[in-house]
Protein backbone atom coordinates (compact mmCIF):
# COMPACT_ATOMS: atom_id res chain seq x y z
CA UNK A 1 0.00 0.00 0.00
CA UNK A 2 1.30 3.45 -0.94
CA UNK A 3 1.56 5.82 1.99
CA UNK A 4 3.27 8.89 0.49
CA UNK A 5 2.57 11.29 -2.29
CA UNK A 6 4.56 14.13 -3.82
CA UNK A 7 2.43 17.25 -4.18
CA UNK A 8 3.03 19.44 -7.22
CA UNK A 9 1.96 23.05 -7.65
CA UNK A 10 1.70 23.85 -11.37
CA UNK A 11 4.13 21.02 -12.10
CA UNK A 12 6.69 22.09 -9.46
CA UNK A 13 7.47 19.75 -6.55
CA UNK A 14 6.06 21.55 -3.54
CA UNK A 15 5.35 19.16 -0.66
CA UNK A 16 5.00 15.62 0.63
CA UNK A 17 1.73 14.22 1.88
CA UNK A 18 1.84 10.96 3.80
CA UNK A 19 -0.22 8.72 6.00
CA UNK A 20 1.64 7.19 8.91
CA UNK A 21 0.11 5.32 11.85
CA UNK A 22 -3.34 6.74 11.13
CA UNK A 23 -2.07 10.32 10.94
CA UNK A 24 -1.86 12.47 7.83
CA UNK A 25 1.28 14.57 7.55
CA UNK A 26 1.82 17.41 5.10
CA UNK A 27 5.11 19.27 4.80
CA UNK A 28 6.48 21.67 2.26
CA UNK A 29 9.81 20.85 0.67
CA UNK A 30 12.56 23.21 1.79
CA UNK A 31 13.54 23.82 -1.85
CA UNK A 32 9.98 24.93 -2.58
CA UNK A 33 9.86 27.20 0.46
CA UNK A 34 13.02 28.97 -0.72
CA UNK A 35 11.68 29.46 -4.26
CA UNK A 36 10.88 33.12 -5.00
CA UNK A 37 7.15 33.53 -5.50
CA UNK A 38 6.28 30.17 -3.92
CA UNK A 39 2.58 29.93 -3.15
CA UNK A 40 0.74 27.72 -0.68
CA UNK A 41 -1.14 24.79 -2.18
CA UNK A 42 -4.18 25.95 -0.20
CA UNK A 43 -5.09 28.88 2.01
CA UNK A 44 -5.68 26.28 4.73
CA UNK A 45 -2.03 25.12 4.44
CA UNK A 46 0.02 28.35 4.56
CA UNK A 47 3.71 28.19 3.69
CA UNK A 48 5.77 27.12 6.71
CA UNK A 49 8.69 24.85 7.47
CA UNK A 50 6.84 22.97 10.23
CA UNK A 51 4.70 20.03 9.17
CA UNK A 52 0.95 19.87 9.45
CA UNK A 53 -0.68 16.85 11.13
CA UNK A 54 -4.26 15.63 11.17
CA UNK A 55 -6.19 12.46 11.99
CA UNK A 56 -8.32 13.14 8.88
CA UNK A 57 -7.24 13.74 5.31
CA UNK A 58 -6.79 17.51 5.01
CA UNK A 59 -10.01 19.00 3.62
CA UNK A 60 -8.22 20.58 0.66
CA UNK A 61 -7.13 17.13 -0.56
CA UNK A 62 -10.43 15.46 0.34
CA UNK A 63 -12.16 18.00 -1.89
CA UNK A 64 -10.15 16.74 -4.88
CA UNK A 65 -11.99 13.41 -4.62
CA UNK A 66 -15.10 12.45 -6.55
CA UNK A 67 -18.35 11.71 -4.80
CA UNK A 68 -21.30 9.41 -5.30
CA UNK A 69 -21.42 7.15 -8.34
CA UNK A 70 -18.14 8.46 -9.76
CA UNK A 71 -16.32 7.62 -6.53
CA UNK A 72 -17.86 4.14 -6.43
CA UNK A 73 -16.84 3.47 -10.03
CA UNK A 74 -13.29 4.68 -9.39
CA UNK A 75 -13.02 2.48 -6.30
CA UNK A 76 -14.30 -0.54 -8.24
CA UNK A 77 -11.92 0.11 -11.13
CA UNK A 78 -8.82 0.35 -8.93
CA UNK A 79 -10.03 -2.02 -6.18
CA UNK A 80 -9.82 0.63 -3.48
CA UNK A 81 -12.01 0.63 -0.38
CA UNK A 82 -14.43 3.58 -0.54
CA UNK A 83 -13.25 4.70 2.91
CA UNK A 84 -9.58 4.74 1.85
CA UNK A 85 -9.46 8.37 0.80
CA UNK A 86 -5.68 8.51 0.74
CA UNK A 87 -5.23 5.64 -1.73
CA UNK A 88 -7.99 7.07 -3.90
CA UNK A 89 -6.32 10.49 -3.85
CA UNK A 90 -2.98 8.98 -4.92
CA UNK A 91 -4.73 7.22 -7.77
CA UNK A 92 -6.91 9.98 -9.18
CA UNK A 93 -4.89 13.17 -8.53
CA UNK A 94 -1.84 12.25 -10.59
CA UNK A 95 -2.79 14.42 -13.55
CA UNK A 96 -5.55 16.58 -14.95
CA UNK A 97 -7.04 17.69 -11.67
CA UNK A 98 -9.14 20.81 -11.39
CA UNK A 99 -6.70 23.54 -10.42
CA UNK A 100 -2.95 23.69 -10.02
CA UNK A 101 -2.39 20.71 -7.70
CA UNK A 102 -1.45 17.15 -8.60
CA UNK A 103 -0.34 14.38 -6.27
CA UNK A 104 1.85 11.54 -7.47
CA UNK A 105 2.59 8.42 -5.43
CA UNK A 106 6.07 7.98 -4.00
CA UNK A 107 7.23 4.39 -4.21
CA UNK A 108 10.05 3.45 -1.87
Structural domain spans, the chain = 4-105
pTM, rounded to two decimals: 0.90
Predicted pLDDT at 6: 97
First to last CA, the chain: 11
- With b for 16 or more beta-carbon neighbours within 10 A and e for fewer, the 59-85 pattern comes to ebbeebbeeeeebeebbeeeebeeeeb
Res 50: pLDDT: 98
Question: In 7-94, where does DSSP find H-type helix?
Answer: 30-33, 59-62, 68-78, 85-92
Give me the pLDDT at residue 1, please: 56
pLDDT per residue rounded down to tens, the chain (108 residues):
568 999 999 999 999 999 999 899 999 999 999 999 999 999 999 999 999 999 999 999 999 988 899 888 887 888 988 888 998 999 988 987 878 999 999 987
Q: What is the pLDDT of residues 24-38, one digit of tens each?
A: 999 999 999 999 999
Amino acid sequence: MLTKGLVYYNGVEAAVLEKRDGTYIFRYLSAYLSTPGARPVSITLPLQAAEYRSVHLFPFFANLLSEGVNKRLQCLKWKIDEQDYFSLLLQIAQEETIGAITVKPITE
